[in-house]
Amino acid sequence: MPPKRRGAQLFMLALAVGIIMAAYASVGIGMDGQVPAGMLTYGLGLGVLMLIAYLVLAKFAPWADPLILPLVTLVNGIGLVMIYRIEQAPWRTGASATQQITWTAVGIVMFTVTLVVLRDHRLLQRFTYTAGALGVVLLILPLLPFIGREINGARIWINVGFSVQPGEFAKLALVVFFAGYLVAKRDVLALVGRRLLFIDLPRARDLGPILVIWGISVGILVLQKDLGTSLLLFGGFISMLYIATGRTAWVLIGLTLFVGGAFLAGQIFSHVGHRFEVWLNPESNEFYERAAGGSYQLMEGLFGLGSGGILGTGLGQGHPYRIPLAFSDFIFPATGEELGLTGLMALLMCYALIVERGLRTALAARDPFSKLLAGGLSFILAWQVFIIVGGVTNLIPLTGLVTPFMSQGGSALLANWILIALLVRMSDAARRPPPQAIQDEGLTQVMQR
C-alpha cells in the first residue's frame, strides 16, 4: 500500500508558490530596483487557489500522485512570470499577465471541477465515439465561415465573443477516442494481418482508422496551415496505436505516411517548405532577412539564448521581448535568455517529471483503457513539449504550437489543466489499494450457515 504523501505535496506546492513569488519579485528588482506592487496580492491569490486545489484533491483523489500538481503549478507560474516580464517591455508586445492570471485561475478551477465531477474516469470509455465526433467537430470549427479566424497565418481560432482555439480541446477528446477505440480493437489490430517481407501488414479494413486520422492530420495541415497540431495529433495516435498493439510496423507505416505527407506539403506549400529550409540553415542572411517564412524570429530566440548563456541575464535584465511572439510560441527561448541554461534544464526536468509521473500512472493502472488513456495523455504532453521546444531551439523544423502551461492563451491552459486533472484522477485510481478481501472469520461463518 503506497503512502499518500499529502504532506509532502502540500510542502512542494508551497515551495512552488514561493519560487514563483520570488521570481516575480526578481523581475521587479531587475527592472526598477523594487519589488512589484502586486506581489503579495498575486502571491496570496495563487496560494489560496492552490490550497483549494490541494484540499479538493485530498478529499476527492486522496491517493493521487503527489508530484504532478506542484510541478504543473511551478511551470505555470514561471510562464506567468515570463509573460508579466514581457508585458513590462518598453512597447506593446501583446503579452498580458492579467489575462493569463485569470486563465490560470480558471484552469485551476477546471482542474478541481474535473476532479469533483469525474469520480471514475472509466466513464469516459462509454463516450468513445462521442469523443471522436466531438474532436473532429472541434478541429473543423475554425474552418467554418463567420466564427473561424485566421491569426498569424494559421486558421485555428474561432470567435464566440472571445477567441478560442478548439484544437486544444479536440486534442483531449481525440485521445479519449483513441483510447476507447484501441481498447476495443487492439486484439484484432495486433493479431490479424499478413506478413510481407519483415512487416506485418494490417488488414485493409483495420488500416482504415489510421488512414482517416492521417487524412484529418493532413487536412489540418493543408486547410488550417497548422503543421504543429497536425504533427501532434498524428504522433499521439501512432504512439497509442503502438502502446495498444505493440506492433512496430504501425509506427513505421505511420512515420512513412507522415513524412511523405509533410514532404509533399513542403513541395506544394511554400510556408511549409520555408520551415525546412530555415531549419537546415537558420543563420544564413538570406533567410534571416526574408520577410515572410524567414529565420528572423528563430534567430532572435537563439541570439537571446546565446546572450543568456549558462546562468542567464537574470529576470528583468535581458531583452526577451524583442523576439516576436516571445509570450506565446517563443516563451521557451525568452525564458532561456533570462534564466539561462540552468533555468531551461530545470524547466525541461519539470516537464520530464510530469510525463514520467503520467507514464508511471499508466504502468500502474489496472485496466487497458486507463493504461492507454494515461499513456496517451502523458505521451502527447511530452510530444508537444518536444515539438515546440525542439522547434524554437532548431532541433527540428519550427512549427507553431503552444508550450504547455507556459504560453499565453486560455484554451491551451484550460485544456492542459483538464489533462492534468485526468492524470491525477487516474493516478488516484492506480495507487488506491485494491478493495480488501473479506477476512472477518465471523462474517464468513455467517455466510456458511
Q: Order of strands across the sheet with 154-160?
A: 148-151, 154-160, 162-164
- Cβ atoms of 132 and 175 closer than 8 Å: no
If one counts every other C-beta atom within 10 angstroms of the C-beta of residue 437, the result is 5
383 touches other proteins (CB under 8 A): yes
Position 371 contacts other proteins (CB under 8 A): yes
Cell triple for 95: 503579452
Measured from the CB atom, the residue of 273 and 293 that comes closer to other proteins is 293
Q: Residue for cell digits 527592472?
A: 31
Q: Which three cell numbers stand for residue 13?
A: 506546492
CB of 229 to other proteins, least distance (A): 18
CB of 242 to other proteins, least distance (A): 6
Q: CB–CB of 393/303 below 8 Å? A: no
What does the alpha-carbon distance between residue 135 and residue 143 come to, in Å, rounded to a whole number? 14
| Count of Cβ atoms closer than 10 Å to residue 311 Cβ | 11
Nearer to other proteins among residue 166 and residue 340 (C-beta): 340
Site string for other proteins, 321-340 (x = CB under 8 A): -x-------------x---x
Q: Is 94 in the site for other proteins (CB under 8 A)?
A: no
Q: Applying CB under 8 A, which of residues 210, 382, 401, 424 lies at the interface with other proteins? A: 382
Based on the shown chain and the rule CB under 8 A, indicate whether residue 239 belongs to the binding site for other proteins: yes
Amino acid letter, 378: S
**C-alpha span between 431 and 428 (Å, rounded):** 5
- Selected binder of other proteins within 348, 366, 443, 444 (CB under 8 A): 348
Beta carbon of residue 145, minimum distance to other proteins (angstroms, whole number): 38
Q: Is 314 helix (H, G, I), strand (E, B) or coil?
A: coil
d(CA 106, CA 113): 10
> If binding is defined by CB under 8 A, does position 305 make contact with other proteins?
yes
Cα torsion 46, 51, 54, 55: sign: negative
Burial class (CB in 10 A: 0-12, 13-18, 19+), 356: middle
Stretch of 153-161, 171-179, 213-221, 242-250 contacting other proteins, by CB under 8 A = 242-250
Q: How far is the CB of 284 from other proteins (least distance, A)?
A: 11
Closest separation in Å from C-beta 228 to other proteins: 15
Using CB under 8 A as the binding rule, whether residue 399 contacts other proteins is answered as: no
Q: How far is CA 115 from CA 12, 63, 154, 309, in A?
A: 20, 12, 33, 41
Site for other proteins in 15-54 (CB under 8 A): none
Among 269, 276, 279, 288, binds other proteins (CB under 8 A): 288
Report residue 255 as a C-alpha cell. Answer: 512515420
CB 321, min distance to other proteins, A: 9
For the CB of residue 423, give the shortest distance to other proteins in the complex, in Å.
Answer: 14
CB of 374 to other proteins, least distance (A): 9
Whole-angstrom distance, CA of residue 309 vs CA of residue 329: 21
Please list, in sequence order, all residues whose beta carbon lies within 8 angstroms of the beta carbon of residue 429, skipping any fewer than 6 positions away: 63, 120, 121, 365, 366, 370
Cβ at position 341, least distance to other proteins in Å: 4
Q: Which is nearer to other proteins, 89 or 113 (CB)?
A: 89
309 part of the interface to other proteins, by CB under 8 A? yes
Question: Least distance from C-beta 116 to other proteins, angstroms?
Answer: 28
DSSP of 238-272: HHHHHHHH--HHHHHHHHHHHHHHHHHHHHH-HHH
> Is the alpha carbon torsion for 24, 27, 30, 35 positive or negative?
negative
Choose between 52 and 89: whose C-beta lies nearer to other proteins.
Answer: 89
Q: Is 341 in the site for other proteins (CB under 8 A)?
A: yes
Residue 123 in the binding site for other proteins (CB under 8 A): no
Among 42, 169, 237, 379, which residue sits at the site for other proteins (rule: CB under 8 A)? 379
Closer to other proteins by CB, 253 or 305: give it.
305
CA–CA separation, 404 and 387 (whole Å) = 11
Q: Does 279 bind other proteins (CB under 8 A)?
A: no
Min CB(52)–other proteins separation in Å: 31
Cβ proximity to other proteins, 137 vs 349, nearer residue: 349
In one-letter notation, the amino acid at residue 125 is Q
Other beta carbons within 10 angstroms of residue 161's beta carbon come to 5
Residues found near other proteins in the complex (CB under 8 A): 89-91, 239, 242-246, 283, 288, 299, 302-310, 318-319, 322, 336, 340-341, 344-345, 348, 351-352, 355-356, 359, 362-363, 368, 371-372, 375, 378-379, 382-383, 385-386, 389-390, 393-395
